[in-house]
Amino acid sequence: MDTRQLEQQDLIHRYLRDELTEQEASAFEVAVLESPELQDELEAAMAVQHSFKMAEAKGVEVSGQPAKGGNLQVSADKKRTMSLPQWSLAASVVIAAASLLFFWQARQQIGELEHSIASQNLARPGAGLTLPVMRAGSTQAFVVQRPASGSIVNLGVEVAANSAQTPLQLAFMTVAEQQVLYRWNGIPDAENTVSKAIDARFFPVGRVWLVIRDADGELLERRLLEFVDD
């Protein structure tokens, strides 16, 4: 790959990301019209971009790194429902919304979380975990016990009342907020909760951000979570 190809690659990607001025974009488009080679390169770049975006929308597995230290698989084949006997065998974490027992106060410095774990309920069929992330008066951060391996947890994220019926994008992200570990979309239900059945293996380890964005990608809320093992 020579310098010219590198410059061309950069230009193509800046064009696709709308990082060119209108004048630069127009000049680039004229160059595209005049150059079959540039057309092939642009077409391929658009196809790669579109393939990833379409794959995400369709729930197709795109990357193959484990949750800790890498991206998570979002497999289209993942079973989202379990039978009652399976639920009864799974070691799910249950925190009833009315008796949320995991609280702490997050300090200004991210590295110093003060928390206390009061108690937790044992797993029961159909159990889930609800985090009142955007409820008025809710705490800044949560400690969450990671579900046991092999289980599936219904994770509920309670959002603000004015988010009802609005598509939201949620994600676990590394604390430096530079790597998405797991992401999902959802629409809050009548109880202002976005629910998602998540396999235990996708629950991160350690401290992460839970980030909530609207359909346009605008940041609505983020909360610090710490996932701990038993």
Q: Which of 173, 170, 156 is nearest to 207 (CA)?
A: 173
Q: Does the footprint of other proteins cover residue 162 (CB under 8 A)?
A: no
- Give min distance, CB of 216 to other proteins, in A: 10
| Interface of this chain with other proteins, residues 65 to 84, rule: CB under 8 A | 65, 70-71, 76
Total binding residues toward other proteins, as defined by CB under 8 A? 48
Site string for other proteins, 7-36 (x = CB under 8 A): --x---x-xxx--------x--xx-xxxxx
- Is the sign of the CA dihedral 138, 127, 102, 74 positive or negative? negative
- Identity of residue 181: L
Cα–Cα dist 185/213, whole Å:
9
Question: Does residue 45 contact residue 13 with C-beta atoms inside 8 Å?
Answer: yes
Least Cβ distance, residue 150 to other proteins (angstroms): 24
In DSSP terms, which residues pair with 195 in a beta bridge? 156
Q: In whole angstroms, how large is the CA radius of gyration of the chain?
A: 22
Residues of this chain, 173-192, that bind other proteins according to CB under 8 A: 176, 178-180
Residues at the site binding other proteins, with contacts judged by CB under 8 A: 1, 5-6, 9, 13, 15-17, 26, 29-30, 32-36, 39-56, 58, 60-65, 70-71, 76, 176, 178-180
